[in-house]
Structure 1
């Protein structure tokens, strides 16, 4: 063997060179894959979105966030607009535009946005001020409706950052990633739906849109959810939920028999068949179904009155010139997106055994659970104060 080695020294050097080249190519490929916008849930991409949410904790306007997250550079931070909404635009190293949407803040305006649970059409105009309106289209189905409070937040933010999006599009950026937590998660659906509709109209005709909405409350009716999920083909939008978190369970929802079901309605048709039953049975079933129908209607009407009309009056004190389209008489709230369910387990409850229950809505608990089900992430280190 020694004789062979001595007689062929170039082979040894060639193997060394090939090894080095292979090593470089391997790690270059690995790095490139880490920043590649493609369909499907990506745990590392989701983790990055979680981390970018923490930038909103720093309110210093001049902060350029140097080294905040490897591969990401801050491009723009919006002012606080609408109901105390704000957004960040980051540029990722693979030329992906990352739009981050801030969640609920401690202001009363931000809370009112969450609880303004009227529904309005998913297409229309929002009057922002006396001389300015914002046109929006969030769905193709004319029956689609959305949460009024979150629509207000979206309209003011979209009006602010659309010039930035236009600027980046004309510079050649075609990949867009949208992220947010809680209220910001709800707004993810509006922004990604809006961009998809603009793509369909040819305004941004060749863009790619992907979104990660974490801890999102329900923000539209079932027809919006159908429309949105169909446009994404279950590939590009994800709804990430910690099963101990109460926020994704709100707003309360009431499904009405007449308004909130497709036609022909099997329940209505069934009620018509009661006439074919014996008299006493016909009376019994008709009375039972009418009670259920009327109680659902009363529940929805009360909801629209207290979390629609009354909360809307408070919002107009903050935004006196703002006007929304005419309300849709439904409270059948749903949440779209491919569900990424992060179920709590023994490791989670052991780690957070002393945490208050509402803490399960925080970003760090979501980050902890993400590691329980997806491999390849760095060991968990909390970012927010425990």
Structure 2
């Protein structure tokens, strides 16, 4: 009954319109409206009043906090486009845990979160693709709540959906976009549902193989990340590249084979050099998996006791994904956003407000 009522409300709002309005490419007006929507999910932005309310969108649904203190909104933009907006990190240790649980898992697999809650996912097909485990964990709860709402939108005639999020919400939007695009390829999500993604100030979602596939699926103008050069969050999680991150066909095997052909003393010397060159990065990956994998998983189990820690991917290479829109602060920006002397406000350049201010200036120049 609730779902039928939701569809009826959507039908009234949309007029059962099947018109498709999403187009590829970065649209300044489109993004500024999405920033306003993201502002509604930010306590800081809402309190300050610096980010205006959305002008062409209606809030249809606001979830409860789920997963690791995750929350999302469903908006109807211009009466024909569903907007799935995911909240960024909240002022809550549980919300930060989603970021800190930053070991990588294969981009295709499953998480057993509870006895009756197993999340099977495919975010990329490449066997070496890997993603942020904390974001996959959070996405499991979000997907479960989103699917019936998105289905209701489709039943009401909506054929366009935008995924958006600021900060952690952007990182999760990468995962959600990949999830739904792969469902679409498998014939389990409507083929005529058009998906576009705008993230903002996003952390890195996975390794290069994941980014390759994500960008392949969203190329030609279907996914963008807006980033300020003064923001530290897009540089996280920290990355470590090892030789195991290379493709199978690479200089590694010929190099090792050539070492074996050397004389005994040369083999000793070359192997010593090799270990010194690759050892530190391999040790760093093990440390990251210990603290941002197993240690963080113990904290997750304090909240979800029946969660089974997954087997992590071998690497810890993180790269950014999607087409990048770069915002460069100028002298006028620094007059408005003067860095406090104590430098303790680590989110000073990261919150929605400075991004909104910068993008307004950016869009005026275009």
Q: TM-score range by the shorter chain?
A: 0.7 to 0.9
Report the 3-state secondary structure (helix = DSSP H, G, I; strand = E; otherwise coil) of the residue aligned with 2:73.
strand
Question: Offset of 1:233 from its aligned partner?
Answer: 1.5
The separation in 1 between residues aligned to 2:363 and 2:42, in whole angstroms, is 27
Match of 1:373 among 341, 355, 362: 362
Distance 2:281 2:131 in 1: 20
Q: Is the 8 A contact 2:160 2:195 kept in 1?
A: yes
Q: Does 207-216 or 121-130 show the bigger shift?
A: 121-130
Q: CA deviation at 1:130?
A: 2.1
Q: Which residue of 1 aligns with 2:217?
A: 231
Matched, 1:152 2:137: yes
CA contact (8 A) 2:62 2:74 kept: yes
Q: Is there any run of 5+ residues in structure 2 with no aligned partner, and where?
A: 1-19, 45-51
Structure 1 unaligned runs (5+)?
1-34, 60-66, 378-386
Q: Which of 363, 369, 383 is equivalent to 2:352? A: 363
Q: 1:206 to 1:350 in 2, by over 3 A?
A: same
Q: CA–CA distance in 1 between the matches of 2:221 and 2:98? A: 29
Query: How many residues align structurally?
Result: 335
Deviations, residues 108-136 of structure 1 (Å, cap 9, x unaligned): 11111100111112222233432232322
1:96 to 63, 77, 81: 81
Partner of 2:169: 184
Look at both structures and tell me which one has the larger radius of gyration over its CA atoms.
1
How far apart in 2 are the matches of 1:54 and 1:373? Answer: 18
Partner of residue 52, structure 1: 37
Counterpart CA distance in 2 for 1:342 and 1:277 is 52
* Cα distance between partner residues in 1 of 2:274 and 2:224: 37
Q: Distance in 2 between matches of 1:362 and 1:82?
A: 23
When normalised by structure 2's length, the TM-score is 0.85
Match of residue 328 from structure 1: 313
- State the Cα deviation string for residues 236-281 of structure 1 (Å, max 9, x = none): 1112111111111111111111x21101221442344356779877
Q: Cα distance, 1:154 vs. partner? A: 0.8
Which residue of the partner structure matches residue 195 of structure 2? 209
What TM-score comes out, normalization by structure 1 length?
0.81
Structure 2 SS opposite 1:361 = coil
1:57 to partner: Cα distance: 4.3
RMSD: 2.3
Tell me which residue corresponds to 2:93.
Answer: 108
Q: 1:300 to 1:288 in 2, by over 3 A?
A: same
